[in-house]
Amino acid sequence: MHPEAMKWVEDAVVGHTFSRVIELGSRDVNGGVRHLFGDATFIGVDIGEGPGVDVVCDAADYLPDEPADCVVSTEMLEHTPRARETVLAAFEMLVPGGMLVMTAAGPGRQPHSAIDGLTVRSGEFYENVHPNALTGWLVEAGFERCVVDQRRSPADVRCIAYRPDTSALTEV
């Protein structure tokens, strides 16, 4: 993972204490974020085995035993044909008030392999994530307080969003 993506996650979670974190696309190709979450129970989900992977599963299909207070995904959405479904699933993985933190390759980023960050292999999916698409998926899922940020160098799309905290609502 490039340093700017790591910094985005670090800045997003600083000052927060999480008890349960789910990382989507957790296979450590070139650095991971697990160390940023201290003593939280951390579950790494990826479509293939490898360092940092606790559960082998497509992120869009993952159903945790317990919801998390943070779902994080770095540099994974561009590698799945199910990016929209992954964002929708992330919402369902969170407790009310839970935080989603994501980074992905945005328009203008050179295609790269999920296997090793080099050339995309034959049959491997790759599509940069447009910030308007990501914003639409977040809204469709039901997230609130969405911040979508696009950087030019490297060409990234990043977001922080929250599942609404309905626990404070009471019936009248």
Q: What sign does the dihedral 155-6-79-96 (CA atoms) show?
A: negative
> What is residue 154's predicted lDDT score, i.e. its pLDDT?
74
Q: Once rounded to an integer, what is the mean pLDDT over residues 59-83? A: 96
> What is residue 169's predicted lDDT score, i.e. its pLDDT?
60
Domains of the chain: 3-165 (3.40.50.150)
Q: How distant is the alpha carbon of residue 104 from its chain centre? A: 8
Q: Is the pLDDT of residue 168 over 70?
A: no
Mean pLDDT (the chain) is 92
Statement: the pTM of the whole predicted model exceeds 0.85: yes
Structure-block tokens of residue 70: 């943070």
> What is residue 129's predicted lDDT score, i.e. its pLDDT?
95
pLDDT-derived band of residue 54, with 50, 70 and 90 as boundaries? very high
The dihedrals phi and psi of 57, each to the nearest 5 degrees, come to -170, 150
Q: Is the pLDDT of residue 153 over 80?
A: no
Q: Once rounded to an integer, what is the mean pLDDT over residues 4-27? A: 95
Helix (H, G, I), strand (E, B) or coil at 58: coil
Q: Which residue is listed with tokens 């360092």?
A: 51
Q: Once rounded to an integer, what is the mean pLDDT over residues 96-120? A: 88
Between strands 41-46 and 20-24, the pairing is parallel
Nearest to 88 by CA among 160, 138, 127, 25: 138
